[in-house]
Amino acid sequence: MTSPFSNSSALSRYGWTQALDDAFAGHREAGLVPARILRVHRGSCDAIAEHGPVRATIPASRSADPVDAPCTGDWAALRPDRDPELVALLARRSSVVRASAARSSHGQVLAANVDTVVVAVSLAAPLNAARLERFLALGWAGGARPVIALTKADLAADAAAVESEVRSLAPGVDIVVTSVATGQGMDVLAALLGEGTTVLLGPSGVGKSSIGNALLGEELLATGAVRAQDGKGRHTTVRRELVPLRAGGVLIDTPGLRAVSLHDAADGLEQVFAEIERLAESCRFGDCAHDTEPGCAVQAAIRAGEVAERRLDGYRKLQREAAWEAARTDARLRGDRVNRQKAITSHLRATYKFRDQQL
C-alpha cells in the first residue's frame, strides 16, 4: 500500500517519515491530516500541511499544562475544515524544555522533535561557563544531541584558548569554530547536523540566526545588530522559525535566552503579559521598545484602547526585574561552582591523606 505521505510528499522536507506516517494511521482514519507546527500564537498556530501552510485554531482546553501545549516542531493532527483545528499532537520523540520558576513543576517547551541542539557561544565575548553548562544540560535532558558552535571567530582574540576551555567543560561534545564573516567552519557544522531537526540555542546576539542563514544559503531568518554599549543583541529574533534546509534536515531558530535559570523570570513575563508579547510580534522592528518607534503594534493597541497603558508600564518594570534576576542567578551559579570545586578538593585531600597513611 503506498501512503499519500510517502517521501515524495511536501511534508518529507519538514521531517515527515514512514514511522510518523504509521503513527498517524488512526488519525487519518478519523479524517484528520498531519502538519508540522512552525510557530505558535495565542489560540492558534502556523503549520505546514501536505498542501502548504495553514493557520489552525488551538482549542482553549489544550493549553492548561504548558508542557502539553503545542510548540514549534510538534507534529499535529488537524481537522481540515475551512477553519482548520488542531485536534491532537503525535507523541514527541524529544523536546527542549526550559524550566519555569523553581517551585513550579511546569516547564516551557521551546522546540519539539529535535535531533540536534546547536549551542551557540560567541568568541567575541568572555566565556560564561555556567551558562554554557546549562544550555548543554537543556539539550541533553530533552533527548537531543548537543553540538557547540563557537561563533564570530573573526572577532576572537584567541579562539584556540577558548576552544580548549570549552572542550574541558563539554567532554565528548562536538565543537565547531565558526564565522559567518569568513565562512569558517560552516561546512563542518552542516555535515554534523545531517538530516534531522536542529534547533539553535543560546543568548541573544551570539549569531544564531546568522548561522541559520549561512546554513540555509539565504537570508530567511531575521538577524540583528549588537548594541554598542554592552555587546549584547536585543530581541534580534522575534519569532521561532522552522525552515527546511536545502541539503536535507530542518532548522529551528529560537529567540535568545538570556540565561536558562531556575528562577526564570522571563517565563513569568511571557505568561503574565501574554497579550503584550503577542502584540510585540507584529511591531515593525524586531527590537521595538514600544516607545516612539514607527509601526509599534503595542502603542497602536494602547491608542485603540485595547491595552491599558499601565500594562505596558508593568511589563517594562518586570522586564527590568527579569534582567536583574538573570544577572543575579548567573552570579549565584558561579558561586555554586566555586563551592562544588572546594568540596571536591577537600574530598580529594582526605582521600590522599588516607592513602598516605596506608602506605
Which residues of the chain form contacts with Mg ion (CB under 5 A)? 208-209, 236-237
Smallest CA-to-CA distance from 277 within 41, 15, 114 is with 41
User: Residue 283 touches which of ligand GDP, Zn ion, Mg ion, none (CB < 5 to 8 A by kind)?
Assistant: Zn ion
Bridge-based pairing of strands 75-79 and 85-89 is antiparallel
Asked if residue 207 binds ligand GDP (CB under 6 A), the reply is yes
Burial of 351: CB neighbours in 10 Å, binned 0-12, 13-18, 19+: exposed
CB of 98 vs ligand GDP, minimal distance in Å:
16
Which of the stretches 118-126, 239-247, 267-275, 291-299 binds Zn ion when contact is defined by CB under 5 A? 291-299
User: Residue 296 touches which of Mg ion, Zn ion, ligand GDP, none (CB < 5 to 8 A by kind)?
Assistant: Zn ion
Nearer to ligand GDP, 12 or 198 (CB): 198
List beta partners, residue 183. Answer: none
Measured distance CA(289)–CA(296) in Å, rounded: 9
Nearer to ligand GDP, 92 or 258 (CB): 258
Asked if residue 216 binds ligand GDP (CB under 6 A), the reply is no
Burial of 270: CB neighbours in 10 Å, binned 0-12, 13-18, 19+: middle
Asked if residue 276 binds Zn ion (CB under 5 A), the reply is no
User: Residue 146 touches which of Mg ion, Zn ion, ligand GDP, none (CB < 5 to 8 A by kind)?
Assistant: none
User: Residue 288 touches which of ligand GDP, Zn ion, Mg ion, none (CB < 5 to 8 A by kind)?
Assistant: Zn ion
Asked if residue 312 binds Zn ion (CB under 5 A), the reply is no
All residues at 6 or more sequence positions from 200 whose CB lies less than 8 Å from its CB, including other chains: 118, 120, 208, 209, 211, 212, 251, 252, 253, 254
Measured distance CA(126)–CA(334) in Å, rounded: 14
CB of 286 vs ligand GDP, minimal distance in Å:
9
Asked if residue 235 binds Zn ion (CB under 5 A), the reply is no
DSSP symbol at 13: G
Long-range contacts of 285-288 (CB under 8 A, 24+ apart): 286/222, 286/224, 286/235, 286/236, 286/237, 286/238, 287/224, 287/234, 287/235, 287/236, 288/235
All residues at 6 or more sequence positions from 153 whose CB lies less than 8 Å from its CB, including other chains: 123, 159, 177, 178, 179, 182, 184, 185
Containing 151, the helix (H) or strand (E) segment is strand 145-151
CB of 175 vs Zn ion, minimal distance in Å:
38
Smallest CA-to-CA distance from 251 within 280, 210, 203 is with 210
User: Residue 134 touches which of Zn ion, ligand GDP, Mg ion, none (CB < 5 to 8 A by kind)?
Assistant: none
Nearer to ligand GDP, 142 or 256 (CB): 256
Asked if residue 236 binds ligand GDP (CB under 6 A), the reply is yes
Which of the stretches 33-41, 169-177, 240-248, 283-291 binds Zn ion when contact is defined by CB under 5 A? 283-291
Asked if residue 208 binds ligand GDP (CB under 6 A), the reply is yes
Asked if residue 185 binds ligand GDP (CB under 6 A), the reply is no
Which of the stretches 100-108, 130-138, 290-298, 321-329 binds Zn ion when contact is defined by CB under 5 A? 290-298
- Considering only 49, 296, 312, 322, the residue that binds Zn ion (CB under 5 A) is 296
- Considering only 70, 139, 142, 224, the residue that binds ligand GDP (CB under 6 A) is 224
Asked if residue 301 binds Zn ion (CB under 5 A), the reply is no
Measured distance CA(189)–CA(225) in Å, rounded: 23
Sheet of strand 250-253: strand arrangement: 174-177, 145-151, 116-122, 197-201, 250-253, 241-244
Q: Does the CA dihedral 123-124-127-133 come out positive or negative? A: negative
- Considering only 97, 132, 156, 288, the residue that binds Zn ion (CB under 5 A) is 288
- Considering only 50, 133, 154, 277, the residue that binds ligand GDP (CB under 6 A) is 154
Which residues of this chain interact with ligand GDP, rule CB under 6 A? Answer: 151-152, 154-155, 179-181, 202, 204-210, 223-226, 233, 236-237, 256
Which residues of this chain interact with Zn ion, rule CB under 5 A? Answer: 283, 288, 290, 296, 298
